[in-house]
Structures are given as C-alpha cells and as structure tokens.
Structure 1
C-alpha cells in the first residue's frame, strides 16, 4: 500500500522564481492551471512563498459583470469570464457590476 508523507498545510507553496524579473509581494502568478499570489517579494533565482488559497481583490475587465459563484479566469493582468487563452483564477464571492474595476475572487 502506498504511504503519504505530510509536507505542509497547503495555503502557501514554495515557488522558485525562474523568470527574468523580480516578483513583488501581491503579484498574481500563473501556475499553469490556476493562479497564486506572491506572499513576499521573490527575487530572480530565489525561492519564496506563493498563496494558493484565500480571497483576493483582483483587477477585472470593466466590460463584464460577475455573479457569486461564477468561475473566472486571469489574462493580461485582469479577471475575466472568458477562458480562452486564460488561466483559471477561482470563483466570484461578491457580485461585480459591469463597470466595476475589482473582482473579489476565491482562489484555491
């Protein structure tokens, strides 16, 4: 029988910044099929913490309204309803009017 070894709670994960730019605290990071939010600054080539659970106010397209429970995506620095070429971001926990600039998103 396979055995599992507990590693961590999972609200944050270790992330090595293999990009060409420093990551600032609060920056949204694409993790292929989901997003995370940098918990701290992560200089190029170093390891830091990425939050992968929680509720965040994120910039959103001002051409779309969102409803509670709606799945949303992250593309070009904004939350949007369309998944085409976008990274799953989570789901809406507070309605947003079409003109609203911020979406309150539960990431997980």
Structure 2
C-alpha cells in the first residue's frame, strides 16, 4: 500500500506538563502509552501504545484477570476505578491488595 507509514504500535507525542521518565504512562488527548525515554515538557517522546506492561497501580486494589484498567492522571497510576479516569486496557495478571504494580495490556487509545 503506497499510503502505509508505520505499524503504529508506538507513536511520537509531545511530552506533557512536567515531562516524563522512561516507563511512565503518558496521556495526550485520547492517545495513551508508555514513554520509551525521558523527555522534558514539550519534547518529542515515543510512546508504546500496544503491548503488555508492568505498571504502577493503586496499591489498595486487588485486580483480577480481565478487569478494566484506567489511567489516573492525577496520581499517575493505573487503577480499576472508572470515575474520572480514562480506560487504557485490561489486567492480564492478578494483582494483590496491597501491591505496587500490575500487568496491563494496553488498548492503544483511552476512552
């Protein structure tokens, strides 16, 4: 196809306010992904928007496989709390309460 440009599993975006550290979640509009590198605010950063990632989570939550996972942009963690947060994927591993991280399969976009 002559109009094909790339797979799209990762995309460059401007780093949000405060910048990002490699491995951080990044939400720009409706595009969510994990930063590949450190970047200062406004610098271009490649984010992976598809795949399974170990992410920081709300510690006081237990996750089950298949649970919807949302991005809490205020606390910069993944959560199963829908209210006020953006859907980013599903849990692909159980996570205990308490625990610092959980496995998330990203959707590619947030809703």
TM-score (norm 1): 0.82
Quote the offset at 1:34 in angstroms.
Answer: 5.1
> Is this contact kept in 2: 1:34–1:87, CA < 8 A?
no
Gaps of 5+ in 2: none
Deviations 1:82-104 (A, max 9, x none): 11111212100111122222111
Count of matched residue positions in the alignment of Structure 1 and Structure 2:
105
Q: Is structure 2 residue 92 aligned with structure 1 residue 93?
A: yes
Runs of 4+ in 1 over 6 A off after TM superposition: none
User: Partners in 2 of 1:20 and 1:69 — Cα distance?
Assistant: 31
TM-score (norm 2): 0.80
Cα distance change of structure 1 residues 10 and 97 upon mapping to structure 2, 3 Å threshold: same
Counterpart of 1:14 (choices 12, 34, 41) is: 12
Quote the offset at 1:4 in angstroms.
Answer: 8.1
Secondary structure of 1:6 counterpart: coil
CA RMSD of aligned residues (A): 2.0
Secondary structure of 1:73 counterpart: strand
Gaps of 5+ in 1: none
> Is this contact kept in 2: 1:58–1:105, CA < 8 A?
yes
